[in-house]
Amino acid sequence: SAPRPFAAVDLGAASGRVMLGRVADGELSLTEAHRFPNEPVRVGPTLHWDILALYRGVLDGLRAAGRTAGGRLASVGVDSWAVDYGLLDASGALLGNPVHYRDGRTEGVAARVAEALPPRDLYAATGLQELPFNTVYQLAAARDTPQLAAARTLLLIPDLIAYWLTGVAGTELTNASTTQLIDPRTRDWSPVVADAVGVDLGLFPPLRLPGAPAGELLPGVLDGTGLTGPVPVTAVGSHDTASAVAGVPAAGERFAYIATGTWSLAGVELDAPVLSEESRRANFTNELGVDGTVRYLRNIMGLWLLQECLRDWAAAGEPHDLGPLLERAAAAAPLRSVVDAGDPAFIAPGRMPERIARACRRGGQPVPRDAGETVRCVLDSLALAHRAAVEDAVRLSGRAVDTVHVVGGGARNALLCQLTADACGLPVVAGPAEAAALGNVLTQARAAGAVAGGLAESRALLAATQPLRHHEPSGDRAVWDRAAARLADAGAADAE
Ligand code: LFR
Q: State residue 25's pLDDT score.
A: 85
Mutate to test the pocket of ligand 1, among 38, 47, 78, 83 (most ligand atoms within 8 A of CB): 83
Atom of ligand 1 nearest to the CA of 302: 1
Ligand 1: centre distance to CA 295 (Å):
13
In the reported structure, the alpha carbon of residue 80 is separated from the centroid of ligand 1 by a whole-number distance in angstroms of 8
Q: What is the pLDDT along the chain (496 residues), one digit of tens a residue?
A: 689 999 999 999 999 999 999 999 899 999 999 999 999 999 999 999 999 999 999 999 999 999 999 999 999 999 999 999 999 999 999 999 999 999 999 999 999 999 999 999 999 999 999 999 999 999 999 999 999 999 999 999 999 999 999 999 999 999 999 999 999 999 999 999 999 999 999 999 999 999 999 999 999 999 999 999 999 999 999 999 999 999 999 999 999 999 999 999 999 999 999 999 999 999 999 999 999 999 999 999 999 999 999 999 999 999 999 999 999 999 999 999 999 999 999 999 999 999 999 999 999 999 999 999 999 999 999 999 999 999 999 999 999 999 999 999 999 999 999 999 999 999 999 999 999 999 999 999 999 999 999 999 999 999 999 999 999 999 999 999 999 999 988 877 766 6
Q: What is the CA(386)–ligand 1 centre distance, in A?
A: 16
Binding-site residues, ligand 1, Cβ < 6 A:
12-13, 81-83, 101, 239-241, 261-263, 265, 299
**Alpha-carbon Rg for the chain in angstroms:** 22
Dihedral angle over CA of 288, 430, 256, 330, nearest 10: -120
Nearest CA to ligand 1 atom 1: 81
Atom of ligand 1 nearest to the CA of 133: 6
pLDDT attached to residue 2: 80
Say yes or no: ipTM exceeds 0.85.
yes
Angle between helices 322-331 and 371-397 (to 10 degrees): 80
Determine the distance separating the centroid of ligand 1 and the alpha carbon of 179, expressed in angstroms.
11
Distance from the alpha carbon of residue 300 to the mean position of ligand 1, in angstroms: 10
- Cα gap 427→474, rounded to integer Å: 9
Atom of ligand 1 nearest to the CA of 82: 12
- 294 forms beta bridges with 270, 288
How large is the angle between the packed helices 352-362 and 304-315, nearest 10 degrees?
A: 120
What is the per-residue pLDDT for 29? 98
Which residue's CA is the nearest one to ligand 1's atom 12? 82
Confidence at residue 485, expressed as pLDDT on a 0 to 100 scale: 93
Angle at 77 between CA 393 and CA 267, to 5 degrees: 5
Query: pTM for this structure?
Result: 0.98
Q: Which of 56, 147, 26 is nearest to 98 (CA)?
A: 147
SS3 sequence of the chain: CCCCCEEEEEECCCEEEEEEEEEECCEEEEEEEEEEECCCEEECCEEECCHHHHHHHHHHHHHHHHHHCCCCCCEEEEEECCCCEEEECCCCCECCCCECCCCHHHCCHHHHHHHHCCHHHHHHHHCCCCCCCCHHHHHHHCCCCHHHHHCCEEEEHHHHHHHHHHCCCCEEHHHHCCCCCEECCCCEECHHHHHHHCCCHHHCCCEECCCCEEEECCHHHHHHHCCCCCCEEECCCCEHHHHHHHCCCCCCCCEEEEEECCCEEEEEEECCCCCCHHHHHCCCEEEECHHHCEEEEEEECCCHHHHHHHHHHHHCCCCCCHHHHHHHHHHCCCCCCCCCCCCHHHCCCCCHHHHHHHHHHHCCCCCCCCHHHHHHHHHHHHHHHHHHHHHHHHHHHCCCCCEEEEECHHHHCHHHHHHHHHHHCCCEEECCCCHHHHHHHHHHHHHCCCCCCCHHHHHHHHHHHCCCEEECCCCCCHHHHHHHHHHHHHHHHHHC
CB-based burial label for 315 (10 Å; 0-12, 13-18, 19+): exposed
**Residue 463 identity:** A
Residue minimizing CA distance to atom 11 of ligand 1: 81
* Minimum-distance ligand 1 atom for the alpha carbon of 287: 9
**Using an 8 Å Cβ cutoff, are 228 and 71 in contact?**
yes
